[in-house]
């Protein structure tokens, strides 16, 4: 039986409270002993956050106790705490390198690639449109000024794909700067949603360093742009984008939580725009 993220989270919380037997866990999640035992092994191998001690091995009264692996937990918690602090206090994209997150994801649950380019809003390799087509429920966007809606990918506009996304009822949430430089893009995104009459868009003002997306609870994609003008002559031949894709459930879940933590403490665009309009009219 496939281990769902919900069952994994339940087991981790249950065991963190105090050591549990496999039978305790089986009853708690409503599964058989064999299924619970299989789940525990998968979680142990995947996260290292729990461990198992077997008592009276080889006898009919053998007992498996599942307990919290504090040494591994402390390491993971410290890493993620440090990463979140760096993200939270970053204001521009150069304040944080997405590779700092990418490096911790398992090798078999991530991939990266590089694209050289001349025009900022044109891409031949990034494959954002196919990723948008796979979104079923929610799209989270970490952005600067939502310039990504103006991207043209292999001759096709990303904004055209958004229409289909809204028709499918997808909820889009965006963290970006809400200022005079982003007003046009925000307006374009919201009007498209209104025209379609499906899905939803929520935008909040947040100066943060990440540039990328979380697609449902399935995948995260971040991009790091390197510009020739920012380097000494000869160091960088062309502008490049480095794309980092993460498929690991644990890291995708953590990135969702980072998004929501920033989102909860950010200002809704409507309130921000009300104040901006007064400044622009004065």
Per-residue pLDDT of the chain (282 residues; tens, 9 = 90+): 788 888 998 999 899 888 999 999 999 999 999 999 999 999 988 877 888 988 866 655 568 999 988 666 555 678 898 999 999 999 999 999 999 999 999 899 999 999 999 888 999 999 999 999 999 999 999 999 999 999 999 999 999 999 999 999 999 999 999 998 899 999 999 999 999 998 999 999 999 999 999 999 899 999 999 998 888 888 888 999 999 999 998 899 889 989 998 998 999 999 998 888 888 776
CATH number of the domain residue 141 falls in: 3.30.870.10
In a shared domain, residues 179 and 260: yes
Structure tokens at 109: 């649950």
31 and 87 in a single domain? The answer is no
Q: Are residues 171 and 49 in the same domain?
A: no
State whether 177 and 277 are in the same domain.
yes
For residues 28-52, b (16+ Cβ closer than 10 Å) or e, as one string? bbebeeebbbebbeebbeebebbbe
Cβ atoms 36, 22 nearer than 8 A = yes
DSSP designation for 169: T
DSSP 8-class letter at 86: H
Residues 9 and 144 in one domain: no
Which residues form the domain of 113? 73-281
- Could you tell me the CATH number of the domain that includes residue 46? 1.10.10.10
The whole-model pTM stands at 0.73
What is the tally of structural domains in the chain? 2
Q: What is the DSSP string of 28-64?
A: HHT--HHHHHHHHHHHHHHH-SEEEEEESTTSTT-EE
């Amino acid at each position: 039986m496939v281990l769902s993220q919900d069952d994994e989270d339940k087991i981790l919380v249950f065991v963190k409270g105090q050591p549990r037997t496999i039978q305790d866990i089986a009853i708690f999640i409503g599964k058989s002993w064999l299924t619970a035992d299989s789940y525990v092994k998968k979680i142990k191998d995947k996260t290292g956050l729990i461990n198992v001690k077997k008592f009276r091995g080889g006898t009919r009264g053998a007992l498996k106790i599942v307990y919290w692996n504090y040494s591994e937990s402390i390491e993971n918690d410290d890493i993620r705490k440090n990463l979140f602090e760096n993200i939270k206090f970053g204001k521009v994209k150069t304040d944080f390198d997405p590779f700092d997150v990418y490096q911790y994801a398992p090798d078999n649950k991530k991939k990266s690639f590089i694209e050289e380019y001349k025009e900022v809003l044109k891409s031949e390799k990034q494959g954002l449109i196919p990723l948008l087509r796979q979104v079923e429920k929610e799209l989270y966007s970490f952005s600067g000024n939502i310039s990504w809606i103006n991207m043209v990918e292999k001759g096709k506009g990303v904004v055209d794909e958004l229409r289909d996304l809204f028709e499918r009822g997808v909820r889009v949430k965006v963290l970006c700067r809400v200022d005079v430089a982003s007003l046009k893009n925000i307006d374009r995104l919201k009007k498209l949603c209104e025209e379609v009459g499906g899905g939803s868009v929520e935008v909040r003002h947040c100066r943060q360093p990440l540039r990328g997306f979380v697609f449902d609870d399935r995948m995260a994609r971040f991009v790091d742009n390197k510009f020739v003008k920012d380097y000494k002559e000869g160091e960088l031949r062309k502008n490049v984008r480095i794309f980092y894709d993460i498929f690991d459930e644990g890291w995708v879940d953590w990135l969702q939580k980072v998004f929501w933590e920033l989102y909860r403490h950010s200002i809704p665009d409507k309130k921000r725009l009300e104040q901006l309009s007064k400044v622009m009219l004065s």
